[in-house]
Amino acid sequence: MIDAYKKYLSEILIDEVTLQERVQALGEQITRDYADLDNLILVCILKGGVMFLCDLTRHIHVPHEVDFMAVSSYGKGARTTTRNVRIDMDLTTHLTDKHVLIIEDIIDSGHTLQSVMHLLETRRPASLKLCTLLNKASRREVEIPIHYIGFEIEDKFVFGYGLDLDEKFRNLPFIGVVDTSQL
């Protein structure tokens, strides 16, 4: 039972050590970049971003807040530029005059984050940047600025470390590629 994920795993794409080293390096980079700025807030996009947020925040050595937001996109899978996102759970913090850094698990088409960034922009933050653990650049349908990227990956469906396979296996400490013949 403990190895229930194994039948869905075709290969480990990013192992635990590699992940943790990269997350630490990102945290150090963010620490340097925000060293002279007050009012940093990490906005984690639930649920996928939560593992990344928890590890990253421990490597950011400037005072900062964290808050959470859950979104889901309409018409998922439909290749249209008119897709929009629904806010399932909003932030509890006001963003006005804060330096906002969005923490996301993966950018695929870019629609979700484009909508989130447009929404957060209307709340008048001092700055708004985006940090994603994974980037599937080949899948991009809309241009969005990404300021911090953990890893560039190919167009493969992945799970683990926050990313789900049918809502499960977010707790795996590595990023695995799904064996689609098992779905």
User: Shortest Cβ distance from residue 14 to Mg ion (Å)?
Assistant: 17
33 catalytic per annotation: no
Residues 77-106 binding Mg ion (CB under 5 A) are 105
| Contacts of residue 52, Cβ cutoff 8 Å, sequence gap at least 6 | 23, 44, 103, 105, 133, 150, 161, 162
| Contacts of residue 172, Cβ cutoff 8 Å, sequence gap at least 6 | 5, 159, 160, 161
Smaller CB distance to ligand IMP: residue 36 or 166?
Answer: 166
Task: Please identify which residue in 14, 40, 48, 116 interacts with Mg ion, judged by CB under 5 A.
Answer: 48
Active-site pick, 108, 164, 166, 179 = 108
Smaller CB distance to ligand IMP: residue 62 or 71?
Answer: 71
Residue 105: name the closest of 70, 79, 59 by CA. Answer: 70
What is the token pair recorded at 181? 């013949």
User: Shortest Cβ distance from residue 26 to Mg ion (Å)?
Assistant: 17
Residue 12 near residue 159 (C-beta atoms within 8 A): no
| 150 binding Mg ion? (CB under 5 A) | no
What is the torsional sign of CA 168, 120, 68, 150? positive
User: Shortest Cβ distance from residue 165 to ligand IMP (Å)?
Assistant: 7
Smaller CB distance to Mg ion: residue 55 or 105?
Answer: 105
Q: What is the binding site for ligand IMP (CB under 6 A)?
A: 48, 73, 105-113, 157-159, 163
Q: Integer distance in angstroms from the first to the last C-alpha of the chain?
A: 18
Residues known to be catalytic: 108
* Binding region for Mg ion (CB under 5 A): 48, 105
